[in-house]
Structure 1
Amino acid sequence: MSRAKRYHPLVMLLAIWNLGKNAIYFFVFLFVLKAGSDAAWVKYGRLALLVVAGFSLLSILWSWSTRRYQLDDTSFRLYQGVFVKSKRVIPFSKIQNINRQTTLFHRIFKVTAIRFETGMEGEDAAVVFRVICYAEADRLEERVAGPVKREDALSTAGDDEETAAVEHGNIRDSKRTIHFSPTRKDLIKASFTSLSFLILIPALFSLYSKADDFFDLDEQAQGVLAALMSSWWTAAAVFVLLSAVSVVLGIAVTFVRYGGFELSSDAERIYIVKGMIERTAFSIAKERVQGVEVTQSLMKRLLGLAEVRLITAGGEGEDKRDVNSLYPFLPVRHAYRLVSELLPSYEISSEMSPLPRASLGISLVGSGWIWISLVALSIPWLPFIPDVPVFGAAWWWIASAGLLIWAMVRNILNHFNTAYAIHGRFLQFRTGGLTSRLFIGKREKIIEVKVTRGVLQRRWGLASVHIVNRARPVLHHKLPDIPAAWGQAFYAWYAGRMQEIRTE
């Protein structure tokens, strides 16, 4: 067992940097913009800011000096505290994902950050090193992931040692296979598919609102807008300029986010690396993948693109979906091929059963009853609803009729886009109307199932299947209005998992 170590001292500088970013707004407001103010609230605000900053600095120093980590053969051991000591033990077997992130701060100091994620809940569910040198990160990752098998290491004379080249915080192993790396053409296509060129609009509004907090920009903005709209050629020039800037900015954002993207794997793990300024490296053991989801938005369906996402039990926050994604703009055929290459144990069937006609009837009846109920409840309030120009008092009936038509069109699209299949120990189904989602899962990875039948479903011989997969948060899927006989067969199929599951 290695000795307990302190965390990297640069973790204090990173914490101070984050503290400064959070406090800079208040500092500029109180000490710069209100520099000549003698108001009592300004004086007390300055004092409070300095006191909070001082306590925060002491807390950062205390936290670093009282925390240590240690590794044994099977687990992390994390120590914290002096007077009241705490100890956490995280077995390597509980680690689901390994996620590296190298921000601009890390690249300046030639360090990285690494996060070992478990499937547990709570703030202590992950082992996090916010600052760590590359060599130590490689050592920790190798200890957690286990020794890599190299079959040809002994077959080549003179190759007694294999070196691992570290590039942007990611270990490059000679046995890895690179499956996908986008070209410039792919990145430009992705920038238009993701509509990232529209980022200029919210960016301008955000900049304007923040500047308006310090300066009264309303009158100046009205004057500038009036000058720009004084003639058609100035308005056209401004429109062309903003459009060009939006396109360039959208392409730049896509290149920064997905530049250097690389999807690779070895015999045991899958590796995803992306980013130019801020580098993110994600790895997961293949046996830890709980399922695969192939998603297509309306625009992606029109362009023949798809996003493949790995469902895992680790990770949290809004960035998890981006981290687990195998590049969001893959051609559909390429996406399915990648799933087969990365996860040979997963099988995708091209033959799926559509929903019966009765399911369309029950969904349309349900939408009709909901619409009738809403109309009946709102009738007593119609005299109090104000009129709308052009449509007058009839606008509410037009809006409600449009809502009914939209609900029925949505149900029809969902019906014809939904399909399901069981082949061997695999379950797959596709749902969605405008957005299509294909889920592929193994029987042994599904932790709970439920088959339900409502009143109308019993009358028409239908049922609904509810599936729960281990994820974070727990992932729920529902396959509504399938034939009741298939629901019974599904339940019997799931019961066979007892022969496949393994206890840790």
Structure 2
Amino acid sequence: MMSEYKRLHPISAVASFIKQLKELIIPFVAIGVLGRGEKSSFWEYMPLIAIAVTLVFVLAAGIIKWLRFTYRLEDGELKMEYGLFVKKKRYIPFDRIQSLNFSEGILHRPFGLVKVKVETAGSTDTQQAEAELTAIPKEEAKELEDIIYREKNKGKSVQNTSQEESPAEDIKEVKQEAKVLYKMSVKDILIMASTSGGIGVIISGVLIFLSQFGEFIPYEAIFNELEEFVRSGILFVSVMVFAGLLVAWILSIGWTLIVYADFTVRLKDENIIITRGLLEKKQITIPLNRIQGIRIVENIIRQPLGFATIQIESAGGSVLDKDSKDIKLIPLISKREVKEILTKVFPDYHIAEDFHVLPKRSLIRYLIRSVFWVIPITIAASIAFWPYGLLGGLLFIPLGFWGYMHFKDAGWNIENNQLSLRYRRLVKQTLFLKKNRIQALDRKESWWQDRKELGSLHTTIKSGALGYSSEIKDLDTDDLHEIYKWFSQGNEKKKAPSPTITFKEQEILGEGL
């Protein structure tokens, strides 16, 4: 029974020991270096003794923490008691629990255990989950989830069930199976690995690693054996670079396959459930009522190939938990399927395809912003390395094209109570926002923009622990007025947020209020 006091699995003491040990590696290495050399007296063994004593203390602390940690479900609350020296109690009501996230690490899987993270309505303001059960049996985790889920939905079940229906029918409704919305194939994961920016990190690491071989590899001996090969140095360097890129590519694909294996998205009543992972299996639950916005992301490789990533901005989560602040609903999907899948998950959202674009007079400002910083560099290079420094001017071509892409991709759309924005940072992004989810909508007009009847739009929504902001520059002032008027209408009870603005901007804003 979950109402009885329960302890975590003993492996949690080992996990705690390993976690503390990782934090002590650098001090231990430093002590080990200081303690090198022959030992001629007892005091010279003190560094090693200090390490041994510390290890024993950390292990003992982990065991005591495990013994003192208990949890149970009672009176509609998750109750925990814990503490190494001072015993603490934490009671979390079921109605505050937003979701339970499961993960199975290498230490968990052999014993049939999972780690449970409890996310609550107040988790946003903390740097970690509201509570964490580091190692409990899968059966208990499932029972814990079912009990909390049943209690949270009891009122809804009563409202949706007539008086003639039996309680058993209520329970059956609450425990209905989750509906599979999307499942990534191995082919999808391979395409995602090949078109992701993660390969760049691995390539950089491989190149740095290879650069360290100069001190250890006897290049002269190798070159003496391969004189002809050395003479064609360009070929040698090319082969080495190609081999490094190939290894990085293979590592990137392998790691992506491990992380995203069996990636599945399910919908159960009012929750999205995402499961993935080969070595470490994870299950992330996102309540629909916490979702603040939907974002479609297209990087420079996937965009021409017709692929995109769907991300959701969710209120809550912790600063240190990457899974809770950067939620990929679907890591890779064909753009042709985006509207269909989002309509299934979010039927109340309008997936806009037609956008109001920027006025043509905005283009020059986008081009100037893209190439402005190259001008002083080109001038300095031309003076120092005349006439070859003039070649720096060739940078104007790709940077100008990049500025044009920023201009071309920017746009907006309003459909009933939803604002859709399209813009480019490093990648192209399309953001769908409900009016009641927008925390702040700011309109700014500088002196230079005012001369061209242009302005910038800045929106903020609650996402993760820090929020998510977007900005579109150089919109037509008439479009800005229309967007601001749309946001202001229906928000009389909630004063529309406004930035610190100049007197000129105050006059312009006053027309829309």
TM-score range, shorter chain: 0.7 to 0.9
- SS of 2:347's equivalent in the other structure is coil
Q: Which position in structure 2 is the counterpart of 1:477?
A: 470
Report the secondary structure of 2:134's partner residue: strand
Percent of aligned pairs with the same residue?
Answer: 22
- Equivalence for 1:111: 113
Correspondence for 2:327 among 317, 324, 327: 324
CA distance in 1, matches of 2:354, 2:202: 44
**Partner residue, 2:18:** 17
Q: Are 2:414 and 1:412 aligned? A: no
Residue 205 to residue 485, structure 1, CA distance change in 2 (3 Å): closer
2:453 paired residue number? 461
Tell whether the 8 Å contact from 2:32 to 2:47 is kept in structure 1 after alignment.
no
Aligned to 1:122: 126
Alignment check: 8 A CA contact 1:199 1:250 kept:
no
Q: Contact 1:447 / 1:470 at 8 angstroms: preserved in 2?
A: yes
Using the alignment, how far apart are the partners of 1:228 and 1:191 within structure 2? 39
What does residue 136 of structure 1 align with? Answer: 140
Deviations 1:185-212 (A, max 9, x none): 3233333223767777556567779xx8
Judge which range, 184-193 or 416-425, deviates more: 184-193
What is the Cα deviation at residue 330 of structure 1?
0.9
Match of 2:354 among 332, 335, 351: 351
Contact 2:104–2:281 (CA under 8 A) maintained in structure 1:
yes
- Are the structure 2 counterparts of residues 163 and 106 from structure 1 closer, same or farther at C-alpha, using a change threshold of 3 Å? farther
Distance 2:80 2:218 in 1: 55
Tell me the equivalent position of 2:340: 337
For the residue of structure 1 that corresponds to 2:340, the secondary structure is helix
Instruction: Report the AA paired with residue 128 of structure 1.
Output: E
Unaligned runs of 5+ in 2: 495-513
Tell me if the contact between 2:206 and 2:248 (Cα under 8 Å) persists in the aligned partners: no
> Which ranges in structure 1 are unaligned for 5 or more consecutive residues?
165-172
**Which of 436, 439, 445 is the equivalent residue of 1:444?**
436
**Judging changes above 3 Å, is the alpha-carbon distance between structure 1 residues 413 and 74 closer, same or farther for their aligned structure 2 residues?**
farther
Within-5 A mapping of 1:36-435: 37-38=38-39, 43=45, 45-72=47-74, 75-81=77-83, 84-118=86-120, 119-123=123-127, 125-145=129-149, 146-147=152-153, 174-194=176-196, 201=203, 204=206, 218-220=215-217, 222=219, 226=223, 230=227, 232=229, 248-315=250-317, 316-317=319-320, 319-320=322-323, 324-364=327-367, 392-393=385-386, 398-399=391-392, 401-402=393-394, 405-432=397-424, 435=427
Cα 1:481–1:127, aligned 2, differ >3 Å: closer, same or farther? same
TM-score, normalised relative to structure 1? 0.78
**SS where residue 329 of structure 2 aligns?**
coil
Does 279-288 or 199-208 show the bigger shift?
Answer: 199-208
Q: Provide closer, same or farther for how the CA distance between residues 34 and 125 of structure 1 changes in structure 2, counting only shifts above 3 A.
A: closer
Render the CA deviation track for 1:39-90: whole Å, top value 9, x for unaligned: 9998554344334323322332343344444445554444444764544444
Q: Could you tell me which of 472, 493, 496 is aligned with 2:486?
A: 493
Deviation at 1:394, TM superposition (A): 5.1
CA RMSD of aligned residues (A): 4.4
Which has the higher mean CA deviation after the structures are superposed, 263-272 or 359-368? 359-368
C-alpha separation in 2, matches of 1:45 and 1:251: 43
Deviations 1:368-426 (A, max 9, x none): 77666x57xx98xx69x995xxxx35565543x45555544332211111110110111
Q: Provide the C-alpha distance between the structure 2 equivalents of 1:201 and 1:155, rounded to a whole number of angstroms.
A: 62
Q: TM-score scaled to structure 2, two decimals?
A: 0.77
1:318-339 deviations in Å (ceiling 9; x for gaps):
7337961123221112223211
Which residue identity lines up with residue 328 of structure 1 in the other structure?
A: P
Residue identity in the other structure for 2:58: S
Give the Å deviation of 1:430.
Answer: 0.8
Change (3 A) 1:155 1:176: farther
Residues 5, 72 of structure 2: 8 Å contact kept: yes
- With 360-369 and 53-62 compared, the bigger mean Cα shift is at 360-369
Deviation at 1:362, TM superposition (A): 3.4
Instruction: Tell me the residue number matched to 1:170.
Output: none
Deviation readout 1:143-199 (Å, 9 max, x if unpaired): 4443488999x999x9998799xxxxxxxx753221221223323333322376777
Counterparts in 2 of 1:163 and 1:138: CA distance versus 1, 3 Å: farther
Letter of the 2:346 partner, please give it.
L
Contact 1:292/1:441 (<8 A) preserved: yes
Alignment length (residue pairs): 475
Instruction: Measure the CA separation in 2 of the matches of 1:227 and 1:410.
Output: 47
- In the other structure, the counterpart of 2:507 is none
CA deviation string 1:7-38 (max 9, x = no partner): 44321111223345566787789779987655
CA distance in 2, matches of 1:292, 1:239: 40
Structure 1 window deviating more from structure 2 (420-429 vs 75-84): it is 75-84
Query: Given residue 54 of structure 1, which amino acid in structure 2 is its aligned partner?
Result: V
| Superposition deviation, residue 476 in structure 1 | 1.2
- Please state whether the residue corresponding to 2:124 is helix, strand or coil: coil
